[in-house]
């Protein structure tokens, strides 16, 4: 089971944690997200969409980050009154991109799912120049409130 190195929260509505770059880190991230959302009265309304989005972001970082062994991932959650921001930080430099998957492809649909379940998503280089942050914003129930 991947280790989770918890970072003390900076605010009641924020949480971050280091995870190993391991195939089981997606399930660890989901568990931590459920624990975080359970602390908030309105947290459950984000759960279904946020779990799917976070799993895809973590799995993409594990599979595609192309970094040296031992590099960790940082996951970060921030709950606002009308949305939940999810972030996955990794040491890789590969830009995430939507791709067209054929019916026979076993992979390649993750970012399409992220796009469908979030209000917005994107990526940016990490401060300090090592790696990137892939983020997504989820509305209650996974729907765009606009």
CATH of the domain at 87: 3.30.565.10
Average pLDDT of the chain is: 84
Over the stretch 28-75, which tens digit does the pLDDT of each residue have?
A: 999 999 999 999 888 899 999 999 999 999 999 998 777 777 789 999
Over the stretch 4-31, which tens digit does the pLDDT of each residue have?
A: 655 554 457 899 999 988 889 999 999 9
Beta strands in 38-104 (DSSP E): 72-79, 84-90
Mean pLDDT over 79-98 rounds to: 88
Angle at 44 (CA atoms; ends 74, 81), nearest 5 degrees: 75
Structure tokens at 64: 């595609």
Mapped onto helix, strand or coil, the DSSP state of residue 121 is strand
pLDDT-based confidence at residue 98 (cuts at 50, 70, 90): low
Residue 49: give the domain boundaries. 4-142
Tally of domains within the chain: 1
Give the model's pLDDT for residue 107: 60
All residues at 6 or more sequence positions from 120 whose CB lies less than 8 Å from its CB, including other chains: 136, 137
pLDDT higher than threshold 70 for residue 124: yes
């Amino acid at each position: 089971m991947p280790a989770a190195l918890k970072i003390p929260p900076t605010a009641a509505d924020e949480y971050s944690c280091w995870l190993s770059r391991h195939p089981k880190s997606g399930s660890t991230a989901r568990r931590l997200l459920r624990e975080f959302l359970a602390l908030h009265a309105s947290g459950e309304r984000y759960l279904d969409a946020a779990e799917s989005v976070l799993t895809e972001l973590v799995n993409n970082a594990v599979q595609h980050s192309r970094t040296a062994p031992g590099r960790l991932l940082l996951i970060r959650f921030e709950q606002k009154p009308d949305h939940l921001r999810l972030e996955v930080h990794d040491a890789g430099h590969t830009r995430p991109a939507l791709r067209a998957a054929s019916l026979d492809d076993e992979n390649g649909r993750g970012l399409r799912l992220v796009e469908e379940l979030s209000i917005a998503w994107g990526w940016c280089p990490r401060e300090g120049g090592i790696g990137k942050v892939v983020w997504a914003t989820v509305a209650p129930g996974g729907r765009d409130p606009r």
